């Protein structure tokens, strides 16, 4: 074996790999692909050199040393440092990067209210909150508001820096959510309260919501929803309205344990959008696409109107003058034996369609007394494949041409038919014209609810 020649060829291989690595770097091929390609070429080239130079003469040269290619060490992920984006505060009404880990009690205030009509154990919002890093750190010093207590109701609120007024500007609510342990049964909500709730910031409950509600819920069916509450101009009654659920599945957003960006946009022209990771999930118009509608109908059915007693809604009736034909046999069977049928020429009556599996083996732990006598499982008889059939042949059944079934009088047009009755329409006394983005009150508090 020419050791010097082998070493020279290996050096050439290594040098070729070095050039390949530099070239691929210039072409911006990823580092992981460079390593895989380069190591693969190196191993193949060295193996080729070894194969060309090796002569099986039965003599082992102890001076020959096997070339060992060490695997490149796997690079460990190093989390980058979080850098606070530069945003002018005057352009926003609220923004929080949670850089203040002591923000609970300063910026965020937990609710001390109790739910009305609920048991004592369920009435309190007794879940604890925490501002900290997630369990799996992706970005260093990237903190968030964490739901700390399992199986509890949580509620916390913060005040906007200034009231938001619907005066021709779009409302944009945007936040990130990450379920590190997934979510099975519960819900998470962001709610915007009216300015009238500002003085009761720590006493809010589910029923104190007044204006827009951006709700993200989880129960058996994962969903993302948009609700709003508006006052009626006549008596100030608050009514809730919600958008239709999206048809696409949202399960990945709840189950992949990754961070997702949720966005609500309400525009001055009364259109709205709900997006997840900048992809539109729900969209519509506040006046046309909410249930129930914000704007009541102009006309309604008169609740005092009653259907007349002689009003006939039947389009057809039975012909009372019709008689059953004398040859109508109600007892004739639906099917009869096909006496003209002939046994197919390839039918094997001496063969069973199913036979014991010859490959079946009785289990060693089978007890005939406890488990009854063992029998091998049945399999399709290979002799019956591709032919008309096996076993005893009988003539098949066919539809009875004389079958008529039970006789009933035919239907005729109803001469007294007046059509479908409905109450008369009257003007709706509660009708009003609405422009939701102009009629809603100022928004000040921002509320988070979880586990409801």
Length of the chain (residues): 452
Strand, helix or coil at 258?
coil
pLDDT in the model for residue 296: 86
- What proportions of the chain, in percent to the nearest 5, are helix, strand and coil? 20, 25, 55
Coil vs helix vs strand at 91: helix
Question: Cα dihedral angle (24, 25, 28, 31), rounded to 10 degrees?
Answer: 100
Instruction: Please report the pLDDT score of residue 195 as a whole number.
Output: 67
Cβ contact 295:433 at 8 Å: yes
DSSP label of 295: S
**Quick one: pLDDT at residue 25?**
39
CATH number of 99-301+440-450: 2.60.120.200
Nearest to 226 by CA among 238, 241, 239, 237: 241
| CA-to-CA separations, 410 to 316, 320, 324, 415, 426, in angstroms, rounded | 10, 9, 10, 15, 41
- pTM attached to this predicted model: 0.58
The whole-angstrom distance between residue 144's C-alpha and the CA centroid of its chain comes to: 25
Residues in contact with 382: Cβ distance below 8 Å, sequence separation at least 6, in sequence order: none
How many of the other CB atoms lie within 10 Å of CB of 232? Answer: 15
Per-residue confidence (pLDDT) for residue 7, from 0 to 100: 40
List the chain residues with pLDDT less than 50: 1-56, 60, 207-220, 452
Count of other CB atoms within 10 angstroms of residue 30:
10
**Predicted pLDDT of residue 144:** 95
- Cα 23 from Cα 34, distance rounded (Å): 10
What's residue 27's pLDDT?
Answer: 39
Structure tokens at 250: 């949202």
| Residue of 112, 260, 88, 135 lying closest to 188 (CA atoms) | 260
Greatest Cα pair distance, the chain, in angstroms, is: 117
Place of tokens 């070729």: 16
Cα separation, 103 vs 110, whole angstroms: 11
DSSP assignment string, 220-282:
SS-EEEEEEEEE-TTT--EEEEEEPPPSS--HHHHHS--EEEEEEEE-TTSEEEEEETTEEEE
Q: Is 266 helix (H, G, I), strand (E, B) or coil?
A: strand
Q: Could you read off the pLDDT of 212-241 as tens digits, one per residue? A: 444 444 444 566 778 777 777 777 777 888
- So what's the pLDDT on residue 49? 38
CB within 8 Å of 133: residues ≥ 6 apart: 141, 142, 143, 144
354-372 per-position pLDDT tens digit: 999 999 999 999 988 888 9
Dihedral in degrees, nearest 10, Cα atoms 25, 26, 28, 34: -20
- pLDDT of res. 220: 45
Q: Which residue has the tokens 């380069």?
A: 38
């Amino acid at each position: 074996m020419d050791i010097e020649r082998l070493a020279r060829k290996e050096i050439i291989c290594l040098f070729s790999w070095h050039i390949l690595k530099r070239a691929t770097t210039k072409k911006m091929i990823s580092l992981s692909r460079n390593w895989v390609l380069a190591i693969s070429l190196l191993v193949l080239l060295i193996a080729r050199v070894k194969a060309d130079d090796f002569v099986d003469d039965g003599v082992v040269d102890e001076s020959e040393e096997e070339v060992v290619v060490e695997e490149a060490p796997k690079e460990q992920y190093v989390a980058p440092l979080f850098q606070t984006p530069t945003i002018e505060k005057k352009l926003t009404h609220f923004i929080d990067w949670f850089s203040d880990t002591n923000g609970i009690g300063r910026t965020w205030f937990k609710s001390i209210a109790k739910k009305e009509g609920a048991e004592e154990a369920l009435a309190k919002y007794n879940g604890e909150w925490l501002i900290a890093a997630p369990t799996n750190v992706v970005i260093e010093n990237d903190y968030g508001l964490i739901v700390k207590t399992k199986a509890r109701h949580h509620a916390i609120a913060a005040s906007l820096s200034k009231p938001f007024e619907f005066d021709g500007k779009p409302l944009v609510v945007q936040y990130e959510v990450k379920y590190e342990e997934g979510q099975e049964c519960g819900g998470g909500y962001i709610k915007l309260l009216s300015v009238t709730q500002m003085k009761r910031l720590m006493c809010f409950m589910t029923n104190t919501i007044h204006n827009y509600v951006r709700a993200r819920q989880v129960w058996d069916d994962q969903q993302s929803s948009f609700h709003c509450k508006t006052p009626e101009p006549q008596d100030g009654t608050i009514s809730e309205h919600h958008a239709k659920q999206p048809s696409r599945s949202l399960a990945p957003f709840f189950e992949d344990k990754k961070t997702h960006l949720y966005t609500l946009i309400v525009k001055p022209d009364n259109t709205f959008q709900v997006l997840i990771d900048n992809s539109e999930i729900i969209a519509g118009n506040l006046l046309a696409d909410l249930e129930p509608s914000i704007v009541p109908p102009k006309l309604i059915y008169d609740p005092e109107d009653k259907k007349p007693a002689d009003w006939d809604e039947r389009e057809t009736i039975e012909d009372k003058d019709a008689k059953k034909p004398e040859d109508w046999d109600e007892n004739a069977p639906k099917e009869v034996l096909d006496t003209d049928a002939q046994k197919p020429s390839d039918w094997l009556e001496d063969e069973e369609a199913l036979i014991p599996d010859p490959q079946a083996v009785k289990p060693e732990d089978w007890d005939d007394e406890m488990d009854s006598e063992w029998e091998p499982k049945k399999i399709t008889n290979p002799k019956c494949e591709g032919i008309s059939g096996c076993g005893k042949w009988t003539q098949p059944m066919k539809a009875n041409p004389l079958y008529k079934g039970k006789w009933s009088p035919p239907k005729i047009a109803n001469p007294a038919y007046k059509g479908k009755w409905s109450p008369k329409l009257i003007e709706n006394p509660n009708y009003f014209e609405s422009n939701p983005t102009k009629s809603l009150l100022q928004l000040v508090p921002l509320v988070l609810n979880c586990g409801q």
